[in-house]
Chains A and B, each alone.
Chain A
């Protein structure tokens, strides 16, 4: 008998606790959970926000559960979880140009149109046009941009001074300078070389030579004369004046490492990564790094000017209101200013016009950014649904050119393949 009563008590206790949790869940259901689950990428911006989260938790009484992942892992997570309709993510940091279109079309992103409009003090109108366009899908706002970037020229002041060379203003001058500065242990020029990774940085060269990935009718233009010249130029710089034994797998961490180890004179890369080059803890050349706008090609200096990351709300999340509260806080003018001061170029016009917004930037970098923001192009990769595949196709001629193969023939091949890809995607 005794045993049975123990079982009975246990059963009652279990039922009670179940009932209690059910009540708890029930009452909070109406206003969403008190825990906001946020997934962020490893990025300088994330470091700043992470440090400030306690402030948000204190002022709202909400709890933030943070997951932080590398870029590739992040994108794999989204592929798996969003595909499965998981509600485990409330706020997600994503790449509007890489995944935005596909995510929006698949219905993974909540519609934020009314939310961004409702609070005038938060001020959606303060956001630059390019970034806003990139996070809008079919007239619906699906995300809030947080980081913008433009391609700039990183260079070694000491090497240029020693050789008596001016900072190159045109592509020809860049090539001549790279040639003059390349030596046995220092490369004249370094940049990304990976087929897919290099596409974004190559895009600015493409635009500056007068080309693009597609024309206004959505036809492939990577086989045009302009594009061929750009491919040959970018690949040629790396092949002729790049590091010895250059690999064709470099993304920014590898290319940046070569530059910050003092093994290259020029480097073209996104401005948002500048801290890696100027931070003495990470860079051997921290005090001799200079910045300049992308040198002008035949069509002028046309770097990309894009939002590389944004925040969005998972459409399957049951906690959308609190998710929005988090985004509103994380993208407020104050926070954007803080982030920008810490080295993350933001998307808010008011922060850029505020002297405090550029106070922590190296002067030449701030100037380069201002120039690039003005004549920048709003995309840095083909604007399609399956960006990953498109990048592999249009990146082919870059690698061909780096390895000394016929860039022109490779561009023709890529053009045919890319046109077929575009037709298939329609």
Chain B
């Protein structure tokens, strides 16, 4: 140990303060990173490790109650469950993919419209951003009222133009599409924001060159703008995709526990929530969450790979 080295060279015993600052100097990279590391440890690594541990036990009723180590049994139960788990995986993926596709396409269209300056641009932007600032639970409640089969506004509006009332959220087949619609309504603005930022940072030259060569607007979009925009698009997909995968509030606020009486909108998140808060099966629910976590990490990894390839 050479903690005291700097003090010793001066020929007198080092004070505690000097000792500390010498030690701090040598370990400064750890010292400065410590708050962030503690944060990550306490709020990310510990819960993950604890969930992993719980997923290997038969913990239920109370987390503090005695539980036995059961190995991979919970995973086996979950992976062979074709009644709740696999349909939930299917719904999670279809919800994410459909919502994402709609948001990216719609977002791109709106971003292109907003790209060039026009009169009243400010107002349009504000109007488009409004859904983004609302709380998802409030959004869910609002749409639930609008889509109420008997007293809701949506069916009354349809009635005015002579279309018979639709079941919207109450139908077994229409509930998931309806929640996707809500997600699109709320989150397209965010995609618009990201894509608009990407568009405005593009340089004008390639577009002008294409114009000189007589390319049509559609050609210019598909052969010039879109390829240049690809990295931004992937960022948007990445950000929105993770969010869409773990959507919970809208689904819970509109259909409640279990995603409705037929589990119409039960995604992995809603399923895991029900397992822990309604059934108190913490072991099983942890196994679902760990599998869910792996799905998210896996799809994120695939997308980042793709982004690297595009950026090259």
Listed in ascending order, the chain A residues whose CB lies under 8 Å from chain B are: 72, 75-76, 79, 82-85, 102, 105-108, 193-196, 243-249, 251, 254, 257-258, 261, 263, 385-386, 388-389, 392, 395, 399, 403
Contact = CB atoms under 8 A, between A and B. Distances in A.
17 contacts: A72-B257, A79-B280, A85-B64, A106-B65, A107-B62, A108-B62, A193-B261, A195-B262, A244-B149, A246-B149, A247-B149, A249-B255, A386-B61, A386-B281, A389-B279, A392-B258, A399-B262
Nearest to B164: A245
A321 B121 CA distance: 64
Interface in B37-79: 61-65
B256 interface: yes
A83 B258 contact: no
A107 B64 CA distance: 10
A194 B165 contact: no
Contacts of A85: 64
B61 A106 contact: yes
Contact of A194 (B63, B65, B261, B276): B261
A30 to B, nearest CB: 27
A399 B280 CA distance: 24
Interface in B278-299: 278-281
A389 B262 contact: no
Contacts of B301: none
Given A106-B65, A249-B256, A386 B149 contact: no
Contacts of B281: 386
B64 A248 contact: no
Contact of B260 (A79, A107, A249, A261): A249
A293 to B, nearest CB: 28
A385 B64 CA distance: 16
Contacts of B277: 75-76, 79
Interface of B: 61-65, 148-151, 155, 165, 167, 169-170, 172, 255-258, 260-262, 274, 276-281
Contact of B165 (A193, A245, A257, A385): A245
A263 B279 CA distance: 35
Contacts of B155: 245
Contacts of B151: 257-258, 261
Contacts of B280: 79, 102, 386, 388
Nearest 6 CB-CB pairings of A with B: A247-B170, A388-B278, A245-B149, A106-B62, A195-B261, A248-B261
B278 A245 contact: no
Contacts of B261: 193-195, 248-249, 395, 399
A106 B167 contact: no
A163 to B, nearest CB: 22
A386 B65 contact: no
A245 B148 CA distance: 10
Contacts, number: 81
B256 A385 contact: no
Given A79-B277, A85-B64, A245 B167 contact: yes
B152 to A, nearest CB: 10
B257 A196 contact: yes
A401 to B, nearest CB: 12
A210 B61 CA distance: 32
A233 B9 CA distance: 96
Contact of A195 (B65, B165, B258, B276): B258
Which of A196, A247, A257, A258: most chain B Cβ within 10 A? Answer: A247
Contacts of B149: 243-247
Nearest to B165: A245
B170 A248 contact: yes
Contacts of A261: 151
Contact of B279 (A249, A251, A388): A388
A248 B61 contact: no
B61 A102 contact: yes
A247 B169 contact: yes
Contacts of B276: 79
A76 B169 CA distance: 25
A76 B172 CA distance: 27
A132 to B, nearest CB: 25
Given A79-B276, A245-B155, A249-B169, 17 more contacts: A75-B277, A83-B62, A102-B61, A108-B62, A195-B261, A243-B149, A245-B167, A246-B149, A247-B169, A247-B170, A248-B260, A249-B255, A258-B150, A386-B281, A388-B278, A388-B279, A389-B278
